[in-house]
Amino acid sequence: MIDKLEHRLIRFKELENLISDPSIMKDNNRYRQLTQEHAALSDIVSAYNAFLKLKNELKDAHELAEGETDPEMRAMAKEELKGLEEAISEQEQEMKLLLIPKDPLDTKNIIMEIRAGTGGDEAALFAADLYRMYAKYAENQGWRVEIMDANEIDLGGFKEIVFLISGRNVYENLRYESGVHRVQRVPTTESGGRVHTSAASVAVLPEAEEADIEIREIDLRIDTFRSQGAGGQHVNTTDSAVRITHIPTGVVVSCQDEKSQIKNRAKAMKVLRSRLLEAEEERKRKERADSRKSQVGSGDRSERIRTYNFPQNRLTDHRINLTLYKLDSVINGDLDELIEGLKLSAREELLKSQGL
């Protein structure tokens, strides 16, 4: 680890010299790249300098303790040594975390897709519960939620709902929600009081900008149709709904939530770009998975990741063996403990993979 830190310190000093060079400052693109790299290294260099300072203080404290003859002063010196050793240990842990490469997707907004799975109407009702859970969590974080498309049933559930969550570091916090979510409860449609098991799948896609994915108009087939919805909702008398097919990949996206065909097309294109970006990221993940398997899961939406047991007020995340007996709070958007557990597990796996 020290070798890695030394290399970053050397590079940081090189960058300081470069960005103060008048010839570099004239090249806007080069200057911007260097200043961004300098900013990215500043936190870890600061942490390393603090670590070196603590090590020097520890060395001085050792020398004082060894040369001290007064018993009381020697005891005070030993106490100081203990405090410095603990501070150094904490600083080492902080530096390890800072050495983990930043995922450039972490700062992105997300498009989340929730689809009802096995369980009929009960699965659709559970899909609606999941949507409300994420919407409340987003509200707690100060994020914005915008529905892109929804296929609602008469009982108020969703066969499918697609929505955008925008804000600070959304993908970093919700990236591990992809997978199959299973629910165990007595459905409202069940008269006998029996517990049923249903499921819904969640997909988390980093929102793609036009610069992230190039889509050629020639590769698209665009169809329009009349909007439909449960109980007459979203129904329009014009062909405002849009279906876009990306011919090279076969990815199909439809949107009918807006009354305007132009707005539906813009939303559908946003979802299409994000699905294509996620497909590319999945390809890269599979390449990396040849050498290691992440403990928190691959992000595969077919993987069963969590069980929501309503009779016992219990939630279990199977990837990190975390069980919480506060499902009532979680389903109302209190996801902090769960998300922090998943992020911590992911960081530990990354540290292991890099030998830190």
* pLDDT tens for each residue of 255-288: 887 778 888 888 888 899 888 888 888 777 676 5
Query: Which stretches does DSSP call E strand in the chain?
Result: 110-116, 144-152, 158-166, 179-185, 196-206, 220-225, 241-246, 251-255, 304-309, 314-317, 322-324
Q: What is the pLDDT of residues 301-338, one digit of tens each?
A: 567 999 999 999 999 999 999 999 999 999 999 999 99
pLDDT band (50, 70, 90) for residue 291: very low
pLDDT tens-place string over residues 187-203: 876 767 788 999 999 99
Output the pTM of the full model: 0.68
Percentage of residues in the chain having pLDDT higher than 90: 35
Distance CA 67, CA 351 (A): 39
Q: Which two tokens stand for residue 4?
A: 């890695």
Cα 229 to Cα 215: distance, rounded to the nearest angstrom: 30
Residues 315 and 308: beta-carbon distance below 8 Å: yes
State yes or no: pLDDT of 353 exceeds 80.
Answer: no
Model pLDDT, residue 275: 87
Q: Which pLDDT belongs to residue 238? A: 62
| DSSP class per residue in 265-334 | HHHHHHHHHHHHHHHHHHHHHHHHHTT---TT----TTSEEEEEETTTTEEEETTTTEEES-HHHHTTT-
Token pair of 299, please?
């992000």
